[in-house]
Amino acid sequence: MALDSKIPKGPIKDKWTDYKNHIDLVNPANKRNIDVIVVGTGLAGGSAAATLAELGYNVKAFCFQDSPRRAHSIAAQGGINAAKNYQGDGDSTYRLFYDTVKGGDYRSREANVYRLAEVSANIIDQCVAQGVPFAREYGGLLDNRSFGGVLVSRTFYAAGQTGQQLLLGAYSAMNRQIGRGKIKMYNRHEMLDVVKVDGKARGIITRNLITGEIERHSAHAVVLGTGGYGNVFFLSTNAMGSNVTAAWKAHKRGAYFANPCYTQIHPTCIPVSGDHQSKLTLMSESLRNDGRIWVPKHKKDVEAIKAGTLKPKDLKEEDRDYYLERRYPAFGNLVPRDVASRAAKERCDAGFGVNATGEAVFLDFASAIERYGKETAHVKGLNENDAALVKKLGQEVIKNKYGNLFQMYEKIVDQDPYNTPMMIYPAVHYTMGGIWVDYNLMTTVPGLYCIGEANFSDHGANRLGASALMQGLADGYFVLPYTIGDYLSNDIRTGKISTDSKEFEEAEKEVREKLNFFVSNKGKHSVDYFHKKLGKIMWNKVGMARNVKGLTEAISEIKALREEFWKEVKVPGTNEEYNEELAKAGRVADFLELGELFAKDALNREESCGGHFREDAVELDGEQKGEAKRDDENFAYVAAWEYKGEPSDAVLHKEELEFKDIELKQRSYK
């Protein structure tokens, strides 16, 4: 199959406007006769469901959580980007577009990214109208802060709980439509397959997670807004329920998967403390606005800190290595996430890690507390030389900006971050890869759409901070409602889609057979046993540092683990009751297939890009290992995989993307 991105002709700044002016529309009377299924109720799915229902479509919305407002979008902390230039520091639609493409190592689809930058300002207006309590300056205007990889302040935020507040806005819009009867909400339902009729997506098969009942649901189009697959690594910052199942089932029904190996490694996470952990906790990137990242310059000080004979705050300034400020003076601690993550790993690999495992660096707020304290004292006419007063005033400022994050850190680590530096280390956070979509956000299966983190289109090899919420809401509020109408305009006379067809019957049969296998298999290992093993293979051999030997081993090991899983997995209980272990078994089965594809994609790519360093692709140069450059061609391609039976039979397709609209240059943050 040839991939057709359907990008409109013309200058990039005019593509979206011209496109909207010429697409086919569905009039309000006809929308009442069209059904749309939306799977996932995070920012992408929730905003899409609310907007489509507002337009008049009949929407069925599904989530596996007990409420739409439990979607993982609620966990986002730092903010949402928009090119409003409220700070007057030179921001613009073009600069947001350029920063996003550059930050993604020139591997984003430019037309989609420019559209994203265009509608970003509308998102903020929409959310303010919904009552989202964005932070405001003294004069009442919306406040902004900086995030990594940019030189302007364009990130709107609500303390350290921006995702929660934005999700509540989308949830309220959904609730209005649920009350009107335009959205039929299915909580605690998990999608287990896509149903195609005459080549088009016409419905899904779900399992009621409370009763175990298998259900058929039909519609004229299906929209997936099911998030990312970071939990393929077992340990990640994702909610434990986050999974790839919906996207993977779509893939197995013919939807191409693109860029599976591009993973966001977030640099500011609480380090792993032991094998008992089942997930990791994110510390918002916004902390890098005021926190300074460092390790000791000398290994004797590292050992003293580990032994407890030297407190980090007592180490002299001249004995500290603020390595990001040293290497990247223009951006300092606000380099993009991939750069900060690789640099932290390089320092720890070199023996400068500051915790017991040697996998942590410091994030220190002492300088910010002193700076804010002196400024506040000056404003109030108090003594700027009173150290105790300055510290007290500075801590109050930091508490107002990041208080809930500091509180969360103290509860988890049992250390007071106001008085001792935080410890952080990179961890899996977000996936840039996902279902391949065209400019309309449609997959290679007609009538099947994919939005938000679940698709591949906007972030290339690395997502800039605060762009996830932007993409989810842009897709749901302002892009999909236009593009899906162009497709549905051909369905105004189709009528209701029956669920009694052989396609629905066969899909349901496959789902039942798989569930019956799990509960009847007489294995000896739990689902988590296999998931943890997969996670270790993925992190050690398919994570930040990669090479041919490790990737080849990973492919073989994952395949063997997958075979063992189907022989030895043990799932207690039945499939006709609430059975979380059964739900988990299906998700891990999909992770095992995805993991193999993930490793194959990584093996195929010989360049270092994003958060991934290909050790055998460049010449190593001591400490510069974490700053490896890509090949000089600066080309980018989509790895789209056609599923034919087993993952090992997948066929790789490359689509080279042309970069005509911006000047290509090697990404540099020095």
Q: What are the catalytic residues?
A: 337
Which long-range CB contacts under 8 A does 651-660 form with residues at least 24 apart?
652/600, 652/601, 652/604, 653/1, 653/3, 653/256, 655/3, 655/5, 657/107, 657/109, 657/110, 659/106, 659/110, 659/634
Residues written for the chain: 670
Angle at 438 between CA 339 and CA 70, to 5 degrees: 65
Torsion (CA) 499, 505, 506, 507 in degrees, nearest 10: 50
Name the nearest CA neighbour of 422 among 344, 529, 501, 318: 344
DSSP classification of residue 358: S
Name the nearest CA neighbour of 148 among 293, 301, 299, 27: 293
DSSP classification of residue 272: P
CA 123 vs CA 119, 127, 324: distances in Å = 7, 6, 33
DSSP classification of residue 224: E
For residue 323, the one-letter residue type is: Y
Q: For 506-545, b where at least 16 C-beta lie within 10 A, e where not — what string? A: ebbeebeeebeebbeeebeebbebbbebbbebbbebbbbb
Enumerate helices (H) and strands (E) in the chain, giving the number of each: 18, 21
- The residues pairing with 588 across neighbouring beta strands, listed in sequence order, are none
Residue 198 makes CB contacts below 8 A (sequence gap 6+) with none
Beta strands 35-39 and 58-62: pairing type?
A: parallel
CA distance 272 to 281: 9
Place of tokens 């495992």: 357
CA distance 40 to 239: 14
Sheet with 263-269, side-by-side order of all strands: 263-269, 422-431, 361-364, 292-296, 320-321
Give phi and psi for 87, each to the nearest 5: -85, -10
Q: Tell me, rounded to whole angstroms, the distance of Cα 210 from its chain centroid.
A: 28
CA 323 vs CA 291, 348, 399, 470: distances in Å = 13, 12, 26, 30
Residue 78 makes CB contacts below 8 A (sequence gap 6+) with 147, 155, 157, 160, 162, 284, 285, 286, 465, 466
For residue 298, the one-letter residue type is: H
Cβ–Cβ < 8 Å for 436, 448: no
Beta strands 221-224 and 214-218: pairing type?
A: unpaired
Place of tokens 């529309």: 25
CA distance 353 to 373: 30
CA 660 vs CA 10, 106, 111, 516, 635: distances in Å = 11, 12, 11, 53, 12
Biggest alpha carbon distance in the chain? 81
